Structure 1
């Protein structure tokens, strides 16, 4: 019952977060179209679709971005495009053939042409926008659908044998709003080392609004045991993301960890994180603070009795490794705030490769 109350509060919070900014005005779009016609059409085409057979494109040696491709148009945040328009393609590891317009166009002209590319050329579509692709936290679940490999490592300092947990996760877009998930875990507990679970899953974006900076998704995974001690699990969750302002983002999630063979080992998990996004350049260090509350279904008795809600804090940082930031690390430490017999501390390192934005050797 307490778990359902927390889920209702979380859902209410999701509704309250849906406030946003005004849409681009018609004057701005007209101005953006004029800028596009004057400075962009020759390479990118009148409708945002370059002609690979044109003499100019052949002379460039690279086909310019196709803004009429709605998936491509939606993938990246406007801040990345603004960096490329202002400072040129090499600023984010793209082609040198993309010139810098920062000395030619005013900032308002650049903002207008980007609004036109997103709204006028991109048009209406149902792909969640890249502005809602917030940084991956350590424990909080993401709402945005990804094309990504993530290698997660967790070290737990325990009384007795310390423990390592390795997780390899493959995430892939399905259609406009959905994502498939394939995840496998391997655990080393000092005296034993073995695979833990294989966790296939599915995520679907329930609501997204670029102008409001808001996204909400629901997902579920199945934990398939890969050793004799592991149990079948069902892991449904909801996740929300919100762009608070240019310097801060918030993400939250609520998840049930249901042991299908022994319900006493089930629990609920609620997490939230705030990232400080102080710059639009991806190759930087972005600090964050995350809090997690776990609610065990069975608390036990006597000296082994668990707290009703187990709290932990996770200071962490996203570290963009290449210019595009699609290859990155997320590092942090988890500190129990109560029920400290669970573990002394936990260290995390995530290696992230968003392969839709380029290969491992690109963008450096």
Structure 2
């Protein structure tokens, strides 16, 4: 009996594929017929023997294998809602190895139709009973500048390098951590290298602490809306041009919208209110990003997301003009598990170009809830 027939027998007998072999001998030809019409039926036939009736995992005495550290709890909202459907679809279709998880999870591509896989995903989603948690399908790709509305657990290291004019390198570390179902705190640590008066200098910029709260999300409408604030303290060095002029409070709103054909739109707008407007002017900004995600392996492989950002800023002082930048960029999958991503882009000043260099920009993102830096490759 080949591997897939053996797995199917395990499905029909309500056992894990790892333990199906002992029961396969008595199975007749009818064991290869699988007619399941609802997600609940699919789950009870092929999943419950390993994942348990409540999605928290069957007893290890019954499964016959040691549960891997990445074994999911579908009823745990913080971990089960964060991923988009395509992540689950890839693992159910092609097995745990599709995202560099344990091979204990078999592939069901020869046993279930695409419709049945989608039905069981819908059933699994229902195991999280709290509707306040936004689903991962509203977690659109992170851009280089525009803030997204989805609350995250991740660490990001970004950098920008002047491609013309005065040399300079800027770098920033972002640490983001979710609070409950819909909130997030963010710590921002910039460190810049400047070249003024013919010599290089380096110093920390203005450290910042941010908070973001999701106010509305709808999977049916493909929309998510958040608002938040950020407080930056003048820890930079004015002598080398890395900040240090004034404490600044920022209030902002962020919106994400799913568009047809795996496309998306993100908007981010806000106002900056310095404590000392005589040293640093008040300012308003509007940032937008539009992009599309392309997936390999018939939509189940790695995801690539080209995007274009339009960044507009204006000081709220008499006679000020609007500064506009255009940033074409590409988010790149680095790990097989898709928890480590990169993004590279190029910023072109479109208005007020004098003294504003073009820049190469990039980041590396680590979604540490999904695994360590050395895992998932």
Give TM-score, length-normalised by structure 1. Answer: 0.85
Q: Does 1:167 align with 2:172?
A: yes
Note the 1:63-142 alignment, pairs <5 A. 64-119=71-126, 121-142=127-148
Q: 1:168 to 1:259 in 2, by over 3 A?
A: same
Q: Deviations over 1:218-277 (max 9, x none)?
A: 111111111353121112210011111242011110021222212552211101111211
Note the 1:190-269 alignment, pairs <5 A. 190=195, 191=199, 192-229=201-238, 230=244, 231-262=246-277, 265-269=281-285
Q: Which residue of the other structure, out of 296, 316, 325, is the alignment partner of 1:297?
A: 316
Deviation at 1:52, TM superposition (A): 4.4
Query: Are the counterparts in 2 of residues 157 and 343 from structure 1 also a CA contact under 8 Å?
Result: no
Structure with greater Cα Rg: 2
Q: 1:59 to 1:156 in 2, by over 3 A?
A: closer
- RMSD between aligned residues: 1.9
Query: Are the counterparts in 2 of residues 201 and 221 from structure 1 also a CA contact under 8 Å?
Result: yes
Quote the residue 1:183 is aligned against.
188
- SS of 2:151's partner is coil
Q: 1:61 to 1:166 in 2, by over 3 A?
A: closer
Query: Are the counterparts in 2 of residues 52 and 63 from structure 1 also a CA contact under 8 Å?
Result: no
Quote the residue 1:18 is aligned against.
none
Deviation at 1:55, TM superposition (A): 3.2
Quote the residue 2:42 is aligned against.
35
Query: Are the counterparts in 2 of residues 33 and 113 from structure 1 also a CA contact under 8 Å?
Result: yes
Quote the residue 2:294 is aligned against.
278
Q: Deviations over 1:107-127 (max 9, x none)?
A: 1111111111112x2234311
Query: Are the counterparts in 2 of residues 233 and 257 from structure 1 also a CA contact under 8 Å?
Result: yes
Point out which structure has higher relative CO (alpha carbons under 8 A, 6+ apart): 1
Q: 1:323 to 1:61 in 2, by over 3 A?
A: closer
Query: Are the counterparts in 1 of residues 293 and 304 from structure 2 also a CA contact under 8 Å?
Result: no
Q: Which moved more, 1:248-257 or 1:258-267?
A: 258-267
Deviation at 1:281, TM superposition (A): 4.4
Q: Which moved more, 1:280-289 or 1:183-192?
A: 280-289
Quote the residue 1:349 is aligned against.
362
Deviation at 1:83, TM superposition (A): 0.6
> Could you tell me how far apart the structure 1 residues matched to 2:361 and 2:301 are?
21
Q: Which moved more, 1:314-323 or 1:277-286?
A: 277-286
Q: Which moved more, 1:250-259 or 1:99-108?
A: 250-259
Q: Deviations over 1:31-86 (max 9, x none)?
A: 00001111000000011111344331545656732111122221110111001101
Which stretches in structure 2 are left out of the alignment for 5+ residues?
Answer: 1-35, 239-243
Q: Deviations over 1:149-200 (max 9, x none)?
A: 00010123453x3221110110001111110111111111113221111101
Query: Are the counterparts in 1 of residues 194 and 202 from structure 2 also a CA contact under 8 Å?
Result: yes
> Could you tell me how far apart the structure 2 residues matched to 1:284 and 1:73 are?
20
Query: Are the counterparts in 1 of residues 204 and 236 from structure 2 also a CA contact under 8 Å?
Result: yes
- SS of 2:120's partner is helix
Q: Deviations over 1:86-132 (max 9, x none)?
A: 1111011111011110110011111111111112x223431111111
Q: 1:183 to 1:52 in 2, by over 3 A?
A: farther
Which stretches in structure 1 are left out of the alignment for 5+ residues?
Answer: 1-28, 301-305
Query: Are the counterparts in 1 of residues 60 and 67 from structure 2 also a CA contact under 8 Å?
Result: no
Note the 1:19-30 alignment, pairs <5 A. none
- SS of 1:55's partner is helix
> Could you tell me how far apart the structure 2 residues matched to 1:338 and 1:362 are?
44
Q: Does 1:321 align with 2:321?
A: no
Q: Which residue of the other structure, out of 335, 340, 345, is the alignment partner of 1:332?
A: 345
> Could you tell me how far apart the structure 2 residues matched to 1:299 and 1:156 are?
29
